[in-house]
Amino acid sequence: MIELQGITKVYKTGSQILEALRGVSLKIGRGEFISIMGPSGSGKSTLMNIIGCLDTPTAGEYVLDGDRVAGLSFDQLAAVRNRKIGFVFQNFNLLPYATTWENIELPMLFDGKNAHKRKKRISELLNAVGLYDWRDHRPSELSGGQQQRIALARALANDPPILLADEPTGNLDSRSGEEIMAILTELWKAGRTIVMVTHNDRIASYSQRIIRLLDGMVQD
């Protein structure tokens, strides 16, 4: 599903050059549940952003579900991202002035889905995360755990085969964190490929395999 070969990422800021990734090669199969771990600054988020087509590598090859991502234009990349990948972030990244319903609707609007399809899917997702009664509320009226469940529902709006989660439980108390992990586990059992960054061994133990990064390289 995800195949990286010799991926590097170099950031240049002024005269400073920083190698955030230094030759990362890895394969993630369809339906795997992977954790990425490693110290702060080891390149975990940089790697996730490249896997998620939010950023492009400086060098290396990336094949996503059979497509050579490196060869795609900006618009093609955005289309791949919207169809194939759902994102969840540590700080939820919901739109503050939109209701939970509207937050979940957004990726479907970008995908050009009609009003009937959108309504049906949003209702399904709100029920799946147990927050249908919160559909007209804004994110600030929800707890962190509830906001992350809405973010998960939004990530699933277009039914993507891959879910990427960068420290999805990092800002949550342990009970809310377990709730999020229970949903992720269900999604994985339903056949989705999940790649998650975490600093927490207990959270990582939900996954099948751990990739450890150190100084921009795969250590283990």
- Enumerate binding residues for ligand ATP (CB under 6 A): 11, 13, 18, 20, 38, 40-46
Distance of CA 214 to the CA centre of its chain: 21
Distance of CA 194 to the CA centre of its chain: 8
DSSP-assigned letter for residue 15:
T
Of 17-25, 44-52, 155-163, 198-206: span binding Mg ion (CB under 5 A): 44-52
**CB count, 10 Å around CB of 202?**
12
**CA dihedral (57, 60, 64, 68) positive or negative:** positive
Separation CA 33–CA 192 (nearest Å) = 8
CA-atom Rg of the chain in angstroms: 17
Nearer to Mg ion, 26 or 106 (CB): 26
Strands 193-197 and 162-166: parallel
| Least distance CB 199 / ligand ATP (angstroms) | 7
Nearer to ligand ATP, 40 or 73 (CB): 40
Which of the choices ligand ATP, Mg ion, none does residue 20 contact, using the CB cut-off of 5 to 8 A by kind?
Answer: ligand ATP
| Least distance CB 190 / ligand ATP (angstroms) | 28
Which of the choices Mg ion, ligand ATP, none does residue 114 contact, using the CB cut-off of 5 to 8 A by kind?
Answer: none
Nearer to Mg ion, 108 or 213 (CB): 213
Using the rule CB under 5 A, which residue among 35, 42, 45, 169 binds Mg ion? 45
DSSP β-bridge partners for residue 34? 195, 209
Buried (b) or exposed (e) across 68-89, using 16+ Cβ within 10 A? ebeebeeeebeebbbebbbbbb
Nearer to ligand ATP, 22 or 137 (CB): 22
**CA dihedral (189, 192, 193, 196) positive or negative:** negative
| Least distance CB 117 / ligand ATP (angstroms) | 36
Which of the choices ligand ATP, Mg ion, none does residue 130 contact, using the CB cut-off of 5 to 8 A by kind?
Answer: none
Nearer to ligand ATP, 40 or 140 (CB): 40
Q: Which residue is nearest to Mg ion (CB)?
A: 45
Nearer to Mg ion, 44 or 121 (CB): 44
Binding site for Mg ion (CB under 5 A): 44-45
